[in-house]
């Protein structure tokens, strides 16, 4: 009896020892295979980013090096996105790659002249397209993101909505007083951006179209988008100022508690109305590069990756709205 009891106890002890070894092996093996998640929504290279459809996950391994990454120029409004793209496409060496965030006008000229590979921007202006034609360079222009062109006023301005016709009337000089559009009896101060800036090109192409735009006084012409936002937020008569920019820039990059975005034709700009295409002044982020780029070039590889499911995942994670 004692002998059989000892055998049973020995068997139980052996089972417990084996089970403990298996548990320890599984526990530490899994720990080694888990990648630490960085702070924020943008995943680092090698991690899985959930597709915007909520199902399939796209695992992103680095596909460029700091040596072969294309020379990118981008508008200020998409700086967080281009940095997220660089981090995802390159990985830990991304910080060593410089991206220009100056005037995209010179970015397009750089693409034409061969000093830049891609300019990520709003649609090129007529002058920029004419420059390319003059240099006998054909440009390829590919849509990468959806966005909205928005109008901003001081938060103390009682006007919350304008129609497209009213905006054209203001910026053509026909409407000069807020009371003409449901506001207070005060002169409208309509700010503009310099010719060939991304937002000025957007204003002419998306809003004014065939309506001539009045020439802005020097006091109402701002160099940078941040200057325009600050002018409306802080200027002595900012309560009566009006300006324009891009949704992401105003809503995230340069957000101010003292400004508000206006509804246009009764539709407010937000992610839902942009994604659904309901907001009246939709715009896009365009990739501009030379059409004579070889099919196997790093530039074309970069463009194809950004417009793929992987690119859409990065765009979504960075807070922008992908095309697909």
pLDDT < 70 stretches in the chain: 1-59, 102, 217-237
At residue 105, the pLDDT reads 87
At residue 70, the pLDDT reads 97
At residue 36, the pLDDT reads 32
At residue 18, the pLDDT reads 52
Q: 175-187 burial, b if ≥16 CB within 10 A, otherwise e?
A: beebeebebeeee
At residue 249, the pLDDT reads 83
At residue 46, the pLDDT reads 42
Residues 145, 285 contacting (CB under 8 angstroms): yes
List of residues 6+ apart from 168 with CB closer than 8 A: 207, 208, 211
At residue 122, the pLDDT reads 85
Write down all domains in the chain, each with its CATH number in brackets. 38-324 (3.40.190.10)
Residues 125, 141 contacting (CB under 8 angstroms): no
List of residues 6+ apart from 277 with CB closer than 8 A: 146
At residue 141, the pLDDT reads 97
Cα distance between residue 143 and residue 126, in whole Å: 18
At residue 187, the pLDDT reads 94
The length of the chain is 324
At residue 239, the pLDDT reads 84
Cα distance between residue 141 and residue 108, in whole Å: 11
Phi, psi of 164, rounded to the nearest 5 degrees: -60, -40
Q: How many helices (H) and strands (E) does the chain have?
A: 11, 12
Cα distance between residue 136 and residue 179, in whole Å: 50
């Amino acid at each position: 009896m004692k002998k059989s009891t000892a055998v049973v106890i020995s068997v139980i002890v052996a089972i417990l020892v084996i089970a403990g070894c298996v548990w320890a092996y599984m526990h530490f093996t899994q720990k080694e295979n888990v990648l630490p998640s960085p702070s924020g929504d943008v995943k680092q290279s090698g991690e899985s980013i959930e597709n915007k459809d909520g199902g399939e996950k796209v695992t992103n391994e680095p596909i460029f090096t700091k040596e072969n990454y294309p020379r990118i120029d981008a508008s200020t409004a998409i700086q967080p996105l281009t940095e997220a793209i660089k981090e995802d496409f390159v990985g830990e060496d991304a910080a060593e790659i410089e991206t220009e965030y100056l005037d995209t006008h010179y970015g397009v000229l750089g693409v034409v002249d061969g000093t830049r590979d891609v300019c990520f921007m709003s649609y090129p202006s007529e002058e920029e397209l004419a420059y390319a034609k003059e240099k006998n360079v054909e440009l390829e222009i590919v849509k990468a993101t959806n966005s909205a062109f928005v109008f901003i006023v001081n938060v103390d301005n009682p006007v919350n909505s304008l129609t497209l016709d009213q905006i054209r009337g203001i910026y053509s000089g026909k409407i000069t007083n807020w009371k003409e559009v449901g506001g207070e009896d005060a002169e409208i101060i309509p700010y503009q951006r310099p010719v060939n800036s991304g937002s000025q090109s957007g204003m002419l192409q998306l809003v004014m179209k065939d309506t001539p735009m009045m020439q802005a006084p020097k006091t109402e012409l701002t160099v940078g988008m941040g200057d325009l936002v600050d002018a409306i937020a802080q200027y002595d008569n900012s309560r009566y100022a009006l300006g324009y920019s891009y949704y992401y820039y105003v809503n995230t990059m340069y957000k101010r508690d003292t400004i508000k975005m206006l509804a246009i034709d009764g539709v407010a700009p937000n992610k839902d109305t942009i994604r659904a295409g309901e907001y009246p002044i939709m715009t896009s982020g365009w990739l501009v590069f030379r059409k004579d780029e070889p099919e196997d070039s790093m530039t074309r590889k970069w463009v194809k990756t950004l417009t793929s499911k992987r690119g859409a995942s990065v765009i979504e994670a960075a807070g922008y709205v992908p095309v697909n």
